Amino acid sequence: MTKYFLTIDSDGHATNCSCPDRTYRSYKPCCKHMSAFDAEVQRAATFQALRQRFDIRLNGQEDSRRCYREMALGF
Ligand SMILES: [Zn+2]
């Protein structure tokens, strides 16, 4: 399994990636890792919004955010 380093801005969006596809084809708006990460962030944000709405007692937000990030990087 190859892992690439993603650059994430303060809004949680991937702005760069260290993979060859991103390096050699930088004319493209993003590589598959960046779009996959953004998709995971969107899903995580949706999930957390729903969870906060339906169960405000849960507070494992940092853990789930880290979990989503590792999933996004792990391919
Ligand atoms: Zn990439």
Please, which pLDDT band fits residue 75 given cuts at 50, 70 and 90?
Answer: very low
Q: How far is the CA of 63 from the centre of ligand 1 (A)?
A: 24
pLDDT digits (tens, 9 = 90+) for 14-73: 888 999 988 888 787 889 999 999 898 888 888 888 777 776 555 555 555 554 555 555
Q: How far is the CA of 61 from the centre of ligand 1 (A)?
A: 26
Alpha-carbon span 66 to 14, nearest angstrom: 15
Q: Where are the beta strands (DSSP E) in the chain?
A: 6-8, 14-17
Q: Which pLDDT score is estimated for 30?
A: 85
Q: Which pLDDT score is estimated for 21?
A: 87
Q: How far is the CA of 33 from the centre of ligand 1 (A)?
A: 4
Average per-residue pLDDT in the chain? 75
Alpha-carbon span 14 to 31, nearest angstrom: 10
Q: Taking a C-beta distance cutoff of 8 angstroms, is the pair 35, 21 a contact? A: no
Taking alpha carbons only, the member of 32, 43, 42 closest to residue 6 is: 32
